[in-house]
Structure 1
Protein backbone atom coordinates (compact mmCIF):
# COMPACT_ATOMS: atom_id res chain seq x y z
CA UNK A 1 0.00 0.00 0.00
CA UNK A 2 1.42 3.38 -1.01
CA UNK A 3 1.72 6.30 1.39
CA UNK A 4 -0.87 8.21 -0.63
CA UNK A 5 -3.35 5.31 -0.45
CA UNK A 6 -2.77 4.93 3.28
CA UNK A 7 -3.33 8.66 3.85
CA UNK A 8 -6.48 8.59 1.74
CA UNK A 9 -7.85 5.64 3.72
CA UNK A 10 -7.03 7.38 7.00
CA UNK A 11 -8.83 10.53 5.86
CA UNK A 12 -11.77 8.46 4.64
CA UNK A 13 -11.96 6.63 7.99
CA UNK A 14 -11.81 9.97 9.84
CA UNK A 15 -14.60 11.35 7.64
CA UNK A 16 -16.76 8.28 8.33
CA UNK A 17 -16.04 8.64 12.06
CA UNK A 18 -16.98 12.34 11.89
CA UNK A 19 -20.30 11.51 10.21
CA UNK A 20 -21.05 8.79 12.75
CA UNK A 21 -20.09 11.15 15.58
CA UNK A 22 -22.25 13.93 14.14
CA UNK A 23 -25.31 11.69 13.92
CA UNK A 24 -24.62 10.24 17.37
CA UNK A 25 -24.20 13.65 19.00
CA UNK A 26 -27.38 14.91 17.34
CA UNK A 27 -29.31 11.80 18.41
CA UNK A 28 -28.08 12.16 22.00
CA UNK A 29 -28.95 15.86 22.13
CA UNK A 30 -32.36 15.21 20.54
CA UNK A 31 -33.08 12.43 23.02
CA UNK A 32 -32.14 14.64 25.99
CA UNK A 33 -34.36 17.51 24.87
CA UNK A 34 -37.23 15.37 23.58
CA UNK A 35 -37.24 17.47 20.40
CA UNK A 36 -35.11 17.30 17.21
CA UNK A 37 -31.88 19.09 18.15
CA UNK A 38 -31.84 21.14 14.94
CA UNK A 39 -35.11 22.79 16.02
CA UNK A 40 -33.77 23.89 19.41
CA UNK A 41 -31.96 27.14 20.18
CA UNK A 42 -28.68 25.25 20.62
CA UNK A 43 -29.35 23.45 17.34
CA UNK A 44 -29.80 26.78 15.59
CA UNK A 45 -26.54 28.02 17.12
CA UNK A 46 -24.76 24.89 15.84
CA UNK A 47 -26.21 25.51 12.38
CA UNK A 48 -25.20 29.18 12.35
CA UNK A 49 -21.71 28.36 13.65
CA UNK A 50 -21.31 25.66 11.00
CA UNK A 51 -22.45 28.11 8.34
CA UNK A 52 -19.98 30.77 9.58
CA UNK A 53 -17.09 28.29 9.58
CA UNK A 54 -18.09 27.10 6.13
CA UNK A 55 -18.11 30.69 4.85
CA UNK A 56 -14.55 31.13 6.13
CA UNK A 57 -13.54 28.43 3.64
CA UNK A 58 -14.00 30.98 0.86
CA UNK A 59 -11.23 33.13 2.36
CA UNK A 60 -8.72 30.84 0.67
CA UNK A 61 -10.30 31.33 -2.75
CA UNK A 62 -10.38 35.10 -2.32
CA UNK A 63 -6.80 35.24 -1.05
CA UNK A 64 -5.55 32.96 -3.82
CA UNK A 65 -7.10 35.11 -6.53
CA UNK A 66 -6.20 38.47 -5.00
CA UNK A 67 -2.59 37.70 -4.11
CA UNK A 68 0.50 37.60 -6.28
CA UNK A 69 0.76 35.03 -9.04
CA UNK A 70 3.62 33.07 -7.51
CA UNK A 71 2.76 33.30 -3.81
CA UNK A 72 0.57 30.44 -2.67
CA UNK A 73 -1.44 31.23 0.50
CA UNK A 74 -0.53 28.06 2.41
CA UNK A 75 -1.93 29.32 5.70
CA UNK A 76 -5.29 30.05 4.08
CA UNK A 77 -5.22 26.60 2.48
CA UNK A 78 -4.88 25.04 5.94
CA UNK A 79 -7.80 27.19 7.16
CA UNK A 80 -9.75 26.05 4.07
CA UNK A 81 -9.15 22.40 4.94
CA UNK A 82 -9.81 22.69 8.68
CA UNK A 83 -12.97 24.78 8.31
CA UNK A 84 -14.08 22.56 5.41
CA UNK A 85 -14.31 19.76 7.99
CA UNK A 86 -15.35 21.70 11.12
CA UNK A 87 -18.18 23.67 9.47
CA UNK A 88 -19.88 20.67 7.86
CA UNK A 89 -19.45 18.70 11.10
CA UNK A 90 -21.44 21.33 13.00
CA UNK A 91 -24.00 21.46 10.20
CA UNK A 92 -24.33 17.68 10.41
CA UNK A 93 -24.91 17.93 14.16
CA UNK A 94 -27.52 20.63 13.42
CA UNK A 95 -29.35 18.51 10.84
CA UNK A 96 -28.84 15.00 12.16
CA UNK A 97 -31.00 12.33 10.59
CA UNK A 98 -34.06 14.58 10.38
CA UNK A 99 -34.23 14.82 6.61
CA UNK A 100 -37.84 15.86 6.22
CA UNK A 101 -37.55 18.85 3.87
CA UNK A 102 -36.23 18.90 0.30
CA UNK A 103 -34.00 22.01 0.35
CA UNK A 104 -32.07 21.07 3.53
CA UNK A 105 -31.72 17.52 2.22
CA UNK A 106 -30.32 18.77 -1.09
CA UNK A 107 -28.01 21.16 0.79
CA UNK A 108 -26.78 18.27 2.93
CA UNK A 109 -26.13 16.12 -0.16
CA UNK A 110 -24.31 19.00 -1.89
CA UNK A 111 -22.27 19.48 1.28
CA UNK A 112 -21.37 15.78 1.33
CA UNK A 113 -20.23 15.86 -2.31
CA UNK A 114 -18.26 19.04 -1.63
CA UNK A 115 -16.51 17.56 1.41
CA UNK A 116 -15.72 14.27 -0.35
CA UNK A 117 -14.43 16.11 -3.41
CA UNK A 118 -12.36 18.26 -1.04
CA UNK A 119 -10.76 15.14 0.44
CA UNK A 120 -10.04 13.90 -3.09
CA UNK A 121 -8.64 17.36 -3.84
CA UNK A 122 -6.15 17.01 -0.99
CA UNK A 123 -4.89 13.78 -2.58
CA UNK A 124 -4.67 15.43 -6.02
CA UNK A 125 -2.94 18.42 -4.45
CA UNK A 126 -0.33 16.30 -2.68
CA UNK A 127 0.40 14.42 -5.90
CA UNK A 128 0.75 17.73 -7.77
CA UNK A 129 3.11 19.08 -5.08
CA UNK A 130 5.30 16.01 -5.44
CA UNK A 131 5.41 16.52 -9.21
CA UNK A 132 6.16 20.25 -8.78
CA UNK A 133 9.02 19.51 -6.40
CA UNK A 134 10.70 17.21 -8.90
CA UNK A 135 10.07 19.63 -11.79
CA UNK A 136 11.47 22.56 -9.75
CA UNK A 137 14.72 20.64 -9.22
CA UNK A 138 14.79 19.78 -12.91
CA UNK A 139 14.25 23.42 -13.99
CA UNK A 140 16.85 24.73 -11.54
CA UNK A 141 19.27 22.08 -12.87
CA UNK A 142 18.73 23.54 -16.36
CA UNK A 143 20.00 26.90 -15.08
CA UNK A 144 16.69 28.79 -15.10
CA UNK A 145 16.31 31.74 -12.73
CA UNK A 146 14.02 31.30 -9.71
CA UNK A 147 11.43 33.63 -11.31
CA UNK A 148 11.45 31.62 -14.55
CA UNK A 149 11.09 28.40 -12.56
CA UNK A 150 8.09 29.78 -10.66
CA UNK A 151 6.45 30.96 -13.90
CA UNK A 152 6.90 27.55 -15.51
CA UNK A 153 5.62 25.77 -12.41
CA UNK A 154 2.58 28.06 -12.30
CA UNK A 155 1.80 27.28 -15.95
CA UNK A 156 2.37 23.57 -15.35
CA UNK A 157 0.00 23.60 -12.36
CA UNK A 158 -2.68 25.41 -14.37
CA UNK A 159 -2.43 22.79 -17.12
CA UNK A 160 -2.61 19.77 -14.78
CA UNK A 161 -5.52 17.68 -16.08
CA UNK A 162 -6.37 15.90 -12.81
CA UNK A 163 -6.53 19.21 -10.98
CA UNK A 164 -8.73 20.82 -13.65
CA UNK A 165 -11.07 17.83 -13.64
CA UNK A 166 -11.31 17.94 -9.85
CA UNK A 167 -12.17 21.67 -9.93
CA UNK A 168 -15.02 20.98 -12.38
CA UNK A 169 -16.70 19.04 -9.56
CA UNK A 170 -15.56 20.82 -6.39
CA UNK A 171 -16.13 24.46 -7.31
CA UNK A 172 -19.68 24.16 -8.74
CA UNK A 173 -20.75 21.84 -5.89
CA UNK A 174 -19.44 24.40 -3.40
CA UNK A 175 -21.54 27.10 -5.04
CA UNK A 176 -24.61 24.82 -5.19
CA UNK A 177 -24.13 23.99 -1.50
CA UNK A 178 -23.87 27.68 -0.62
CA UNK A 179 -26.99 28.60 -2.61
CA UNK A 180 -29.03 25.72 -1.14
CA UNK A 181 -27.86 26.61 2.36
CA UNK A 182 -28.92 30.22 1.90
CA UNK A 183 -32.31 29.02 0.58
CA UNK A 184 -32.64 26.79 3.65
CA UNK A 185 -31.81 29.70 5.98
CA UNK A 186 -34.28 32.02 4.25
CA UNK A 187 -37.00 29.34 4.36
CA UNK A 188 -36.31 28.51 7.99
CA UNK A 189 -36.44 32.17 9.00
CA UNK A 190 -39.58 32.81 6.96
CA UNK A 191 -41.52 29.73 8.06
CA UNK A 192 -40.04 29.71 11.56
CA UNK A 193 -41.26 33.21 12.23
CA UNK A 194 -37.92 34.83 13.07
Structure 2
Protein backbone atom coordinates (compact mmCIF):
# COMPACT_ATOMS: atom_id res chain seq x y z
CA UNK A 1 0.00 0.00 0.00
CA UNK A 2 1.37 3.40 -1.02
CA UNK A 3 1.86 5.60 2.05
CA UNK A 4 3.65 8.44 0.30
CA UNK A 5 3.22 11.95 1.61
CA UNK A 6 1.51 12.97 -1.63
CA UNK A 7 -1.13 10.24 -1.43
CA UNK A 8 -1.74 10.48 2.31
CA UNK A 9 -1.73 14.27 2.73
CA UNK A 10 -1.96 16.08 -0.60
CA UNK A 11 -4.81 14.06 -2.12
CA UNK A 12 -7.20 14.73 0.82
CA UNK A 13 -6.28 18.43 0.63
CA UNK A 14 -7.27 18.43 -3.04
CA UNK A 15 -10.54 16.84 -1.93
CA UNK A 16 -11.34 19.86 0.28
CA UNK A 17 -10.69 22.16 -2.65
CA UNK A 18 -12.82 20.05 -4.99
CA UNK A 19 -15.66 20.20 -2.44
CA UNK A 20 -15.42 24.02 -2.50
CA UNK A 21 -15.69 24.06 -6.29
CA UNK A 22 -18.50 21.47 -6.29
CA UNK A 23 -20.46 23.47 -3.70
CA UNK A 24 -19.98 26.58 -5.84
CA UNK A 25 -21.33 24.85 -8.93
CA UNK A 26 -24.24 23.37 -6.96
CA UNK A 27 -25.07 26.75 -5.37
CA UNK A 28 -25.00 28.50 -8.74
CA UNK A 29 -27.09 25.73 -10.28
CA UNK A 30 -29.72 25.99 -7.53
CA UNK A 31 -29.94 29.76 -7.94
CA UNK A 32 -30.40 29.40 -11.70
CA UNK A 33 -32.86 26.51 -11.32
CA UNK A 34 -35.17 28.49 -9.04
CA UNK A 35 -34.72 31.76 -10.93
CA UNK A 36 -32.91 33.33 -7.96
CA UNK A 37 -29.83 34.52 -9.83
CA UNK A 38 -30.30 37.96 -8.25
CA UNK A 39 -29.48 36.41 -4.84
CA UNK A 40 -26.00 35.57 -6.10
CA UNK A 41 -25.45 39.23 -6.89
CA UNK A 42 -25.69 40.04 -3.19
CA UNK A 43 -23.76 37.02 -1.82
CA UNK A 44 -20.55 38.97 -2.35
CA UNK A 45 -21.45 41.21 0.60
CA UNK A 46 -21.73 38.54 3.34
CA UNK A 47 -18.85 36.64 1.73
CA UNK A 48 -16.62 39.70 1.96
CA UNK A 49 -17.73 40.36 5.54
CA UNK A 50 -16.87 36.79 6.53
CA UNK A 51 -13.43 37.11 5.00
CA UNK A 52 -12.88 40.41 6.83
CA UNK A 53 -13.95 38.77 10.11
CA UNK A 54 -11.54 35.93 9.42
CA UNK A 55 -8.72 38.47 9.67
CA UNK A 56 -9.15 38.55 13.46
CA UNK A 57 -6.83 35.56 13.59
CA UNK A 58 -4.13 37.40 11.65
CA UNK A 59 -4.50 40.44 13.88
CA UNK A 60 -4.19 38.26 17.00
CA UNK A 61 -1.25 36.32 15.58
CA UNK A 62 0.61 39.57 14.92
CA UNK A 63 -0.37 40.86 18.39
CA UNK A 64 -2.28 43.83 16.95
CA UNK A 65 -5.18 42.70 19.13
CA UNK A 66 -4.57 41.02 22.48
CA UNK A 67 -7.88 39.29 23.17
CA UNK A 68 -9.16 36.01 21.83
CA UNK A 69 -7.96 32.44 21.95
CA UNK A 70 -5.58 31.92 18.98
CA UNK A 71 -6.78 28.33 18.36
CA UNK A 72 -10.41 29.43 18.33
CA UNK A 73 -9.61 32.39 16.09
CA UNK A 74 -7.70 30.07 13.73
CA UNK A 75 -10.77 27.82 13.52
CA UNK A 76 -12.96 30.86 12.81
CA UNK A 77 -10.42 32.03 10.23
CA UNK A 78 -10.64 28.72 8.40
CA UNK A 79 -14.44 28.41 8.53
CA UNK A 80 -15.16 32.07 7.72
CA UNK A 81 -12.66 32.13 4.86
CA UNK A 82 -14.04 28.93 3.35
CA UNK A 83 -17.67 30.08 3.64
CA UNK A 84 -16.79 33.59 2.46
CA UNK A 85 -14.93 32.18 -0.53
CA UNK A 86 -17.91 29.95 -1.33
CA UNK A 87 -20.30 32.90 -1.24
CA UNK A 88 -17.99 35.02 -3.39
CA UNK A 89 -17.55 32.20 -5.89
CA UNK A 90 -21.33 31.81 -6.16
CA UNK A 91 -21.56 35.62 -6.43
CA UNK A 92 -19.15 35.51 -9.38
CA UNK A 93 -20.98 32.62 -10.97
CA UNK A 94 -20.16 32.00 -14.58
CA UNK A 95 -20.85 35.58 -15.59
CA UNK A 96 -18.05 37.59 -17.11
CA UNK A 97 -18.82 41.28 -16.78
CA UNK A 98 -15.45 42.92 -16.13
CA UNK A 99 -11.79 42.04 -15.65
CA UNK A 100 -11.32 43.54 -12.14
CA UNK A 101 -13.75 41.19 -10.36
CA UNK A 102 -12.24 38.19 -12.13
CA UNK A 103 -8.72 39.23 -11.12
CA UNK A 104 -9.95 39.58 -7.51
CA UNK A 105 -11.59 36.16 -7.78
CA UNK A 106 -8.40 34.59 -9.12
CA UNK A 107 -6.34 36.17 -6.34
CA UNK A 108 -8.89 34.94 -3.78
CA UNK A 109 -8.70 31.38 -5.12
CA UNK A 110 -4.90 31.37 -5.03
CA UNK A 111 -5.11 32.77 -1.51
CA UNK A 112 -7.60 30.09 -0.41
CA UNK A 113 -5.39 27.35 -1.85
CA UNK A 114 -2.26 28.75 -0.19
CA UNK A 115 -4.11 29.03 3.13
CA UNK A 116 -5.31 25.46 2.83
CA UNK A 117 -1.75 24.34 2.13
CA UNK A 118 -0.65 25.98 5.36
CA UNK A 119 -3.47 24.55 7.39
CA UNK A 120 -4.14 21.11 6.07
CA UNK A 121 -0.83 20.02 4.70
CA UNK A 122 2.11 21.38 6.63
CA UNK A 123 1.29 20.20 10.13
CA UNK A 124 0.06 16.82 8.96
CA UNK A 125 3.01 16.43 6.62
CA UNK A 126 5.50 17.22 9.38
CA UNK A 127 3.87 14.58 11.61
CA UNK A 128 3.82 12.08 8.73
CA UNK A 129 7.52 12.56 8.02
CA UNK A 130 8.43 12.26 11.69
CA UNK A 131 6.31 9.13 12.06
CA UNK A 132 7.74 7.47 8.97
CA UNK A 133 11.30 8.33 10.05
CA UNK A 134 10.65 6.77 13.48
CA UNK A 135 9.10 3.71 11.82
CA UNK A 136 12.13 3.21 9.60
CA UNK A 137 14.60 3.60 12.47
CA UNK A 138 12.58 1.18 14.63
CA UNK A 139 12.82 -1.36 11.79
CA UNK A 140 16.61 -1.06 11.85
CA UNK A 141 17.36 1.43 9.10
CA UNK A 142 20.15 3.88 9.78
CA UNK A 143 19.42 7.61 9.78
CA UNK A 144 20.98 7.90 6.31
CA UNK A 145 18.92 4.98 4.94
CA UNK A 146 15.73 6.38 6.45
CA UNK A 147 16.44 9.79 4.89
CA UNK A 148 17.07 8.09 1.55
CA UNK A 149 13.70 6.31 1.78
CA UNK A 150 11.97 9.59 2.64
CA UNK A 151 13.80 11.73 0.05
CA UNK A 152 10.79 12.54 -2.16
CA UNK A 153 8.54 13.06 0.85
CA UNK A 154 11.11 15.51 2.23
CA UNK A 155 11.28 17.36 -1.10
CA UNK A 156 7.47 17.59 -1.16
CA UNK A 157 7.43 18.88 2.42
CA UNK A 158 10.15 21.48 1.81
CA UNK A 159 8.27 22.76 -1.23
CA UNK A 160 5.05 23.06 0.77
CA UNK A 161 6.85 24.99 3.54
CA UNK A 162 7.24 27.91 1.16
CA UNK A 163 3.48 28.58 1.25
CA UNK A 164 3.81 31.81 3.27
CA UNK A 165 5.89 33.31 0.47
CA UNK A 166 2.74 33.12 -1.66
CA UNK A 167 0.02 33.51 0.98
CA UNK A 168 0.73 37.02 2.28
CA UNK A 169 1.39 38.81 -1.05
CA UNK A 170 -1.62 37.11 -2.63
CA UNK A 171 -3.74 38.10 0.40
CA UNK A 172 -2.63 41.68 -0.14
CA UNK A 173 -3.29 41.51 -3.90
CA UNK A 174 -6.71 39.99 -3.25
CA UNK A 175 -7.54 42.76 -0.77
CA UNK A 176 -6.52 45.50 -3.21
CA UNK A 177 -8.42 43.94 -6.11
CA UNK A 178 -11.49 43.34 -3.93
CA UNK A 179 -11.43 46.94 -2.71
CA UNK A 180 -11.12 48.11 -6.31
CA UNK A 181 -14.08 45.94 -7.28
CA UNK A 182 -16.18 47.24 -4.38
CA UNK A 183 -15.34 50.86 -5.21
CA UNK A 184 -16.23 50.30 -8.87
CA UNK A 185 -19.55 48.74 -7.85
CA UNK A 186 -20.42 51.83 -5.83
CA UNK A 187 -19.28 54.11 -8.64
CA UNK A 188 -21.33 52.38 -11.34
CA UNK A 189 -24.28 51.07 -9.35
CA UNK A 190 -27.69 52.15 -10.64
CA UNK A 191 -28.58 54.29 -7.59
CA UNK A 192 -31.96 55.41 -9.00
> Do they fold alike, i.e. is TM over 0.5?
yes
Extract unaligned runs of 5+ from structure 2.
131-157
**Residue 62 of structure 1 pairs with residue 59 of structure 2:** yes
Q: What residue number does 1:152 align with? A: none
Q: What residue number does 2:173 align with? A: 176
Q: What residue number does 1:124 align with? A: 122
Q: What residue number does 2:3 align with? A: 2
Q: What residue number does 1:137 align with? A: none
**Residue 185 of structure 1 pairs with residue 182 of structure 2:** yes
How far apart, CA to CA, are the structure 2 residues paired with 1:20 and 1:75?
Answer: 27
TM-score (norm 2): 0.71
Relative distance call for 1:127 and 1:7 in structure 2 (3 A) is closer
Q: What residue number does 1:50 align with? A: 47
Alignment of 1:70-81 (within 5 A): 73-81=70-78
Alignment of 1:73-152 (within 5 A): 73-122=70-119, 123-128=121-126
Within the candidate set 6, 25, 31, 1:29 is matched to: 31
Does the aligned pair in 2 maintain the 1:23–1:97 contact within 8 Å? no
Does the aligned pair in 1 maintain the 2:117–2:160 contact within 8 Å? no
Does the aligned pair in 1 maintain the 2:9–2:124 contact within 8 Å? no
How far apart, CA to CA, are the structure 1 residues paired with 2:13 and 2:95?
Answer: 26
Extract unaligned runs of 5+ from structure 1.
133-160
Q: More displaced, 122-131 or 7-16? A: 122-131
The size of the alignment, in residue pairs, is 160
Shift of 1:22: 0.8
Relative distance call for 1:46 and 1:121 in structure 2 (3 A) is same
Does the aligned pair in 1 maintain the 2:122–2:161 contact within 8 Å? no
Q: What residue number does 1:12 align with? A: 14
Shift of 1:106: 0.3
Shift of 1:66: 1.0
How far apart, CA to CA, are the structure 2 residues paired with 1:73 and 1:101?
Answer: 38
Spell out, residue by residue over 1:126-151, the C-alpha distance to the aligned partner (whole angstroms, 9 max, x if none): 3457789xxxxxxxxxxxxxxxxxxx
